């Protein structure tokens, strides 16, 4: 009995669970400013946006800033539009990207053309409807958990 008691004290029993698997790769989920704006155009509340809803929403958003009813926005007015509807004056699309004819003005038609391109890109299943999942962007992290290299050099 004494020997059994000494053996139990000498070798403690260790209960372990299953070993953890590999960690999930780090990723970032985000909405591009244009995608977030498109999501707000869901007029019927079905959590899906049609091209028609997007077009109607763009008209209303454009007219909110085009108070002079000129039909075009200068780059500063476009920056006001971007700040109000995209969240930042420098958010994409930029006025340089939208102004296709290079007249330093953004027309409603130019804005609709650029957002139509966004719609086509986001509509992964090509059903003519944008869901929240299609508007969501998932990106792998650029750097690992330890961040960018401290010495400014590229990693090998």
Domain membership of residue 154 (yes or no) is: no
Q: Is 101 helix (H, G, I), strand (E, B) or coil?
A: coil
Q: Are 82 and 136 in contact (CB under 8 A)?
A: no
CA distance 37 to 42: 10
Question: Model confidence at 96, in pLDDT bands (50, 70, 90)?
Answer: very high
Domain membership of residue 123 (yes or no) is: yes
Domain membership of residue 155 (yes or no) is: no
CA distance 16 to 30: 38
Q: Are 37 and 85 in contact (CB under 8 A)?
A: yes
Domain membership of residue 61 (yes or no) is: yes
pLDDT tens for residues 122-136?
999 999 999 999 999
Domain membership of residue 50 (yes or no) is: yes
Number of domains in the chain: 1
Q: CATH number of the domain that 96 lies in?
A: 1.10.238.10
Q: Are 86 and 79 in contact (CB under 8 A)?
A: no
Question: Model confidence at 5, in pLDDT bands (50, 70, 90)?
Answer: low
Question: Model confidence at 64, in pLDDT bands (50, 70, 90)?
Answer: very high
pLDDT, average across residues 80-86: 97
pTM: 0.72
CA dihedral in degrees (141, 144, 149, 152; nearest 10)? -20
Residue identified by tokens 């260790």 is 14
Domain membership of residue 149 (yes or no) is: no
Instruction: Show the domain range for 95.
Output: 26-140
CA distance 127 to 125: 6
Domain membership of residue 10 (yes or no) is: no
Residue 153 pLDDT: 63
Domain membership of residue 53 (yes or no) is: yes
């Amino acid at each position: 009995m004494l020997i059994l008691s000494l053996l139990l004290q000498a070798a403690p029993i260790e209960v372990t669970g299953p070993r953890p698997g590999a960690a999930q790769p780090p990723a970032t989920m985000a909405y591009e400013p244009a995608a977030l704006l498109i999501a707000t155009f869901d007029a019927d509340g079905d959590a899906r946006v049609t091209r028609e809803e997007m077009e109607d929403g763009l008209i209303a958003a454009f007219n909110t800033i085009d108070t002079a009813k000129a039909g075009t926005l200068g780059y500063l007015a476009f920056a006001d539009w971007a700040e109000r509807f995209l969240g930042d004056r420098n958010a994409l699309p930029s006025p340089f990207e939208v102004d296709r004819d290079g007249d330093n003005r953004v027309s409603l038609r130019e804005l609709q053309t650029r957002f139509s391109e966004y719609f086509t890109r986001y509509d992964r299943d090509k059903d003519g409807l944008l869901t929240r999942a299609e508007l969501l962007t998932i990106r792998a992290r650029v750097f690992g958990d330890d961040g960018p290299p401290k010495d400014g050099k590229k990693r090998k």
